Chains A and B, each alone.
Chain A
Amino acid sequence: MHRRSKIDAKTLRLISEELAGIPVGAKLAETHSEVIESLMQGVDQLRKLPLKELAPPLTFSPEEDVK
């Protein structure tokens, strides 16, 4: 599994402004980074589950969707 660094406000601000196009202030970025870090720790745990053979339940049906 990939090792990731702890998410900090600076990284988050860059993602928000330069990638997502949503400017956030320094204080907000600080708060958001705490929430996202917590969520990413949850994802780290989730990645340890036996997901390897499972495809995500997302389907595209040519019969239904290509007209």
Chain B
Amino acid sequence: MNELIHLSIAALGDLLRTKKVSPVELTKAYLASIGEHNDTVNAYVTITPELALADAKQAEAEIARGHYKGPLHGIPIAHKDIYCTADVRTTCCSEVLGNYVPDFDATVVKQWRDAGTVMLGKLNTHEFAYGTRNTSSSFGPVKNPWRLDCHTGGSSGGSAAAVLMGMCAGATGSDSGGSIRMPAAATGITGLKPTFGLGSRYGVFPLMWTMDHPGPMARTALDCALLLQPMAAYDPNDKTTVNRRYPDFSWQAEKGIKGLRVGVPRRYFFDEAEEVVETTVLEAIAILKELGAEPVEVDITHIEHAATASGILHLAEAAAYHDDVFSEHPEQYTPETRRNLELGSYILAKDYLHAQRYRRLLGTSFKEVFQRVDVLAMPTISLLATPISQEQIRIRGKEKSVHLSMLHNTEPIDLTGLPALSVPCGFADDNRPIGLQIVGRPFDESLLIRLGHTYQQATAWHLKRPAICGGV
């Protein structure tokens, strides 16, 4: 196995810039890893070796000529298969789209391409990104490399598994209820959901217009910063993008976290989690304290209604988006998506609007807390990855839906549109990963990166690899 594939993007960028490694050599190493592991984990649904090698050769020539574009130049990446890619099949992992081949790139795909990345292919997802475990895909479920009988979290499960296995250096995800952070936590990688309006959704198949967030997934917080940088721009094709001056997201990464006030909302975010998750995340917060941060107990008022509001919004918006195709060809959707689209038809408009009004109320709750703290820390997901077919779980004596428990800690952050980073912070005894979620003020991604990077400099959870790709 070529160890290059497990280096960070930051480290690879240095090797490429100084011509110690060529983009072609690197791309071949990732393609070899895909060839070795994809049948096992099912992360890729489309692999584009010819295109990748052509892009890599171009990057190699550009770097040789001195036209170095920056830290992503020559870096092999892949896109979740809801991002449109010109001349490359885009399926949303659904029979509905079949072998649809777009004639344009999604804005984010173009931004990453312009930054010099090399696209290796398209990644598995829950059908139309509408689920929490990547189990409902026309290509079959993604398998968690730590335990192949378990899910990876979803919907960006292919992205997470590919990053973890060294089948790409970084990947796009999308997050409407937690779909970047849940798979990041369940596989032990790093995922960043930016502030709503930072990244363009143009060319990304919608799940729900008011809560879809595109974002990066990688091994480290610093790598997420590098991948986020080209995404942060106003896009006239997506009116929700915000026209503002964005900082260099990694510029303060080395500054440390001394004096940073870390809010710890025990009610709701911790007290409904599995004990091992709660304990591990509290240990991570203790490390943040050792590193100079100041934990502060906080409470988010009205948070307990988030699931209702999020559920109403998901069901109604997805049903509206799929209305025409679904009424003509319901049989083309998987049973889980069909069920959700049917349920969406029963939501009254007034209740949809009440759910939207609740978002403002919840936003006020978070705003009040952010007057006392700089960030919030909590478990990303309140449970460990479960076996793929498991629907119910017992947590602290209560029988719960796995699907709803997965969403519990992430969906409030989509409702409020706040930025959130998930970093790996430990493992259960059977090697199932646990994620620490850090939530920040609007457009304060730099601070999340700084905290995540400081934590990852002090710990080694993000470096662990499963046995099937050379780890122990």
Which residues does A use to contact B, with CB under 8 Å? 12, 15-16, 19-22, 24, 28, 31-32, 35-36, 39-40, 42-43, 45-47, 49-51, 54-58, 61, 64-65
The reply to whether the CB of B466 lies closer than 8 angstroms to some CB of chain A is no
The reply to whether the CB of B334 lies closer than 8 angstroms to some CB of chain A is no
> How long is the Cα–Cα vector from A42 to B313 in the complex, in angstroms?
13
B232 to chain A, nearest CB (A): 20
Given A39-B311, A46-B305: A51 in contact with B357 (beta carbons within 8 A) = yes
The reply to whether the CB of B38 lies closer than 8 angstroms to some CB of chain A is no
> How long is the Cα–Cα vector from A65 to B239 in the complex, in angstroms?
9
- Interchain CB contact under 8 A, B357 and A43: no
B195 to chain A, nearest CB (A): 14
Q: How many residues from B make CB contacts under 8 Å with A? A: 28
> How long is the Cα–Cα vector from A35 to B347 in the complex, in angstroms?
12
Prevailing SS type, chain B contact patch: helix
> A-B pairs with CB below 8 Å: how many?
78
- Closest 3 interchain pairs by CB? A42-B308, A56-B356, A20-B345
B321 to chain A, nearest CB (A): 15
Residues of chain B in range 299-357 having any CB-CB distance to chain A below 8 Å: 302, 305, 307-309, 311-312, 315, 326-327, 330, 339, 342-343, 345-346, 351, 353-357
- Cβ–Cβ < 8 Å partners of B353 in chain A: 56, 58
Q: Which of B326, B346, B357, B360 contacts A15 (CB 8 A)?
A: B346
Q: Which of A16, A21, A49 contacts B302 (CB 8 A)?
A: A49
- Interchain CB contact under 8 A, A39 and B357: no
Given A16-B346, A22-B345, A64-B239: A47 in contact with B308 (beta carbons within 8 A) = no
- Cβ–Cβ < 8 Å partners of A51 in chain B: 354, 357-358, 361
- Interchain CB contact under 8 A, B345 and A45: no
A62 to chain B, nearest CB (A): 12
